[in-house]
Amino acid sequence: MKRLVVALLLLPTAAFAEDRDYCPARPGLGTPACTIAPGRVSVEMGLADWTRDDSPNQREDTILIGDTLMRIGLTDTVEAQLGWTAFGHVRTRDKATGGVDTADRAGDALLGLKVNLHHPDGSGFSAAVQPFVTLPVGRTPVGAGDWGAGVVIPVSFDLGHKLSLQFSPEADAAVDQDGRGRHLAASGTIGLGLAISDSVSGTIEFQEAWDDDPTGRSTQALSSMSLGWMPHDDWQFDVGAVAGLNRDAPDAELYIGISRRL
């Protein structure tokens, strides 16, 4: 998988009869409503992602490398999605004893479709439906331990003056924390996007997520800021930061990534 992704990133861009402006799914917490043009492929990779989760009893640091999503344009309004996390490192420190546990794992795979319902290029008012399933090819604590499924319904509005409003509600059959069975989880993400220049865009987002895990219900509130730089029509580099706003949420997340359209 790693060799395939690297090869795709390095391939020259082919000429296609139909095209539209590149609209990567990253960065940020939400999901864009746009789809990739038919015959095009987008490879989007998190080069490095660090999350810190501090609780009264322990601190957990998670590092993900090569968190990759491949989007394949099938028709004018439909794209297929393949995702996989190549490597994850989880370090857990017990604050009472000082003991440290570490785990190095690959993550799970994702299979999905995005079906755009209006304006597949993401212009004006755009909406889509994105169902997906996750397959337990990895192991806990990076993988979930069982299959899961969900659906996202991304919506975006062009507000003019280089501003856009984005909303991404999601409902999941999320894997239980013990890796056996599923439960209901849901989230809502709202974001304000700004085209800072012809090649730089920024997004501010807020997300609230509800999780009804059998071990205990939780509600996470998050805020996020991200930047995308597109030095070429088919390349994007991005950075982002996420802050937890309540006790259930992870304290902080920092990431950097790259996207390439073929």
Every domain of the chain and the residues it spans: 2-10+21-261
pLDDT at 248: 95
Distance, in Å, from the CA atom of 67 to the CA atom of 44, rounded to the nearest integer, reads 8
Mean pLDDT by 10 residues, the chain (262 residues): 48 51 96 96 98 94 97 97 96 93 95 97 96 94 94 97 96 93 96 96 98 94 98 97 96 98 96
Structure tokens at 107: 């993550």
User: Tokens 């996007």 label which residue?
Assistant: 193
CB atoms within 10 A of CB 148: 21
pLDDT at 19: 73
Tally of CA atoms within 13 A in the half-sphere of 38 that contains its CB: 8
Question: Rounded to whole angstroms, what are the CA distances from 167 to 30, 162, 164, 232?
Answer: 7, 17, 10, 27
The angle subtended at Cα 226 by Cα 166 and Cα 256, nearest 5°, is 130
**CATH 3.30.300.180 corresponds to the domain 2-10+21-261:** no
Q: Are 259 and 45 in contact (CB under 8 A)?
A: yes
User: The pTM is what?
Assistant: 0.88
User: Tokens 């029509």 label which residue?
Assistant: 233
